[in-house]
């Protein structure tokens, strides 16, 4: 074997090579008939954990009830994680922003309000949240962070902009499945409609908005973010539909107003919007 021997700076003698860390031997596979039963029962996570758990159980003489409990818990944990992964994928969240990159003190939303909203207790009560304020004040980031938290807690979430919702409902109109599409959206515990009023909305957008708000009314939670207070939505979409939708939206809604200058602009003007080029 070639190699450079390290010298001990004190003695100038070669330092002995470290002995390799003994790797723990792979646990023996589970018996084929047990493997086959677990496959038929569709217990993939239990099956995966079984060789390790059974080897440890044997060597440490665990109570059989304990072995059973640990194996079933592995299956439950695995299934819950798979459900959360699938909910996160279905939710269609735009940027992956969570509370880990959220700075509470940089937000104009009072800290106690932020904390109360983060408990998501209001989602359990099917209440709504309207976040209104100028561009760049963290409305979408806060809404998305709440959405991630809801998914972490096992809830289903659906995220739309008014444009994507309108397109979605529009596609369902073509094959007469609007009711089905709305029912599917309102299966989510929390529905987010982001950036209402950024672009002018016509009859189709107002209809899509009204349908979702009506179907979710007193059954599901909706978060709406906008540069406008919802009471002004009738200035950006047909009045009758807007009024009916906003009436339902605000009946059980927390209203949070953000203010201040755009964090985007602050970051851009202080050179924090980009990583320096080398
Ligand atoms: N309190 C905060 N902590 C960390 N980042 C923030 C905070 N507030 C805003 N930001 C960041 O500032 C940028 C703008 O925020 P965001 O997109 O949420 O604004 P917005 O209010 O939705 O704006 P618009 O009305 O233009 O859609 C984003 O990069 C966001 O991550
Ligand atoms: Mg936004």
From the CA of 103, the nearest ligand is 1
What is the Cα–Cα distance from 130 to 60, expressed in whole angstroms? Answer: 56
Q: Distance from the CA of 196 to the center of ligand 2, in angstroms?
A: 9
Q: Please list all protein residues whose beta carbon sits less than 5 angstroms from ligand 2, which is an ion.
A: 140, 195
Centre of ligand 1 to C-alpha 36, Å, is 52
Token pair recorded at residue 37: 């039963």
Cβ-contact 246, 153 below 8 angstroms: no
The whole-number pLDDT of residue 3 equals: 42
Span from the CA of 262 to the centroid of ligand 1 (angstroms)? 8
- Span 233-278, pLDDT tens digits: 999 999 999 999 999 999 999 999 999 888 888 888 888 888 888 7
What is the residue-wise DSSP string for 61-86?
Answer: T--HHHHHHHHHHHHHHHHHHHHHHH
Q: Poorest-confidence range of 14-18, 28-32, 230-234, 256-260?
A: 14-18
Q: What is the DSSP letter of 153?
A: T
Write out residues with Cβ below 6 Å of ligand 1: 97, 101-103, 106-107, 135-141, 195, 225, 227, 263-264
Atom of ligand 1 nearest to the CA of 104: 1
pLDDT at 2 over 60: no
State the distance from the centre of ligand 1 to the C-alpha of 79, rounded, in angstroms. 34
Output the residue whose Cα is nearest ligand 1's atom 4.
102
Question: Measured in angstroms, how far is the CA atom of residue 177 from the centroid of ligand 2?
Answer: 30
- Strands 128-132 and 253-257, sheet pairing: parallel
How far apart CA 168 and CA 61 sit, in angstroms, is 57
Tokens 């950006």 belong to which residue? Answer: 236
Strand arrangement of the beta sheet that strand 128-132 belongs to: 157-161, 190-196, 221-226, 128-132, 253-257
The protein residue whose alpha carbon is closest to atom 6 in ligand 1 is 138
* Structure confidence at residue 22 (pLDDT): 53
Q: Over pLDDT 70: what percentage of the chain? A: 91
pLDDT digits (tens, 9 = 90+) for 191-208: 999 999 877 789 999 999
Q: Whose CA is nearest to atom 7 of ligand 1?
A: 138
CA 249–ligand 2 middle distance (angstroms): 19
Q: Which of 95, 104, 114, 137 to mutate to test the pocket of ligand 1 (most atoms within 8 A of CB)?
A: 137
Q: Which helix (H) or strand (E) holds 264?
A: helix 263-269
Residue 97's pLDDT is: 97
């Amino acid at each position: 074997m070639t190699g450079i021997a390290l010298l001990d700076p004190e003695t100038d003698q070669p330092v002995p090579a470290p002995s390799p860390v003994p790797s723990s031997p792979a646990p023996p596979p589970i018996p084929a008939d047990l493997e086959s039963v677990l496959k038929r029962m569709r217990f993939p996570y239990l099956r995966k954990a079984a060789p390790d758990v059974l080897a440890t159980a044997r060597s440490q003489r665990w109570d059989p009830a304990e072995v059973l409990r640990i194996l079933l818990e592995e299956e439950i944990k695995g299934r819950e994680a798979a459900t959360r992964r699938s909910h996160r994928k279905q939710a269609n969240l735009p940027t992956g922003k969570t509370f880990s990159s959220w700075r509470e003190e940089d937000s104009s939303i009072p800290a106690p309000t932020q904390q109360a909203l983060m408990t998501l207790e209001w989602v359990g009560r099917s209440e709504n949240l309207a976040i209104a304020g100028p561009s760049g004040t963290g409305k979408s980031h806060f809404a998305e962070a709440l959405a991630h938290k809801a998914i972490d807690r096992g809830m289903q979430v659906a995220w739309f902009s008014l444009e994507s919702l309108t397109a979605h409902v529009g596609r369902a109109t073509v094959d007469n499945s609007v009711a089905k599409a709305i029912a599917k959206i309102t299966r989510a515990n929390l529905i987010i409609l982001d950036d209402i009023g950024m672009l002018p909305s016509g009859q189709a957008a107002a209809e899509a908005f009204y349908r979702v708000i009506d179907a979710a009314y007193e059954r599901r939670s909706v978060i709406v973010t906008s540069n406008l207070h919802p009471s002004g939505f009738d200035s950006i979409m047909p009045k009758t539909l807007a009024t009916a939708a906003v009436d339902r939206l605000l009946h059980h809604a927390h209203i949070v107003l953000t203010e201040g200058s755009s964090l985007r602009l602050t970051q851009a003007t202080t050179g924090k919007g980009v990583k320096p080029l080398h």
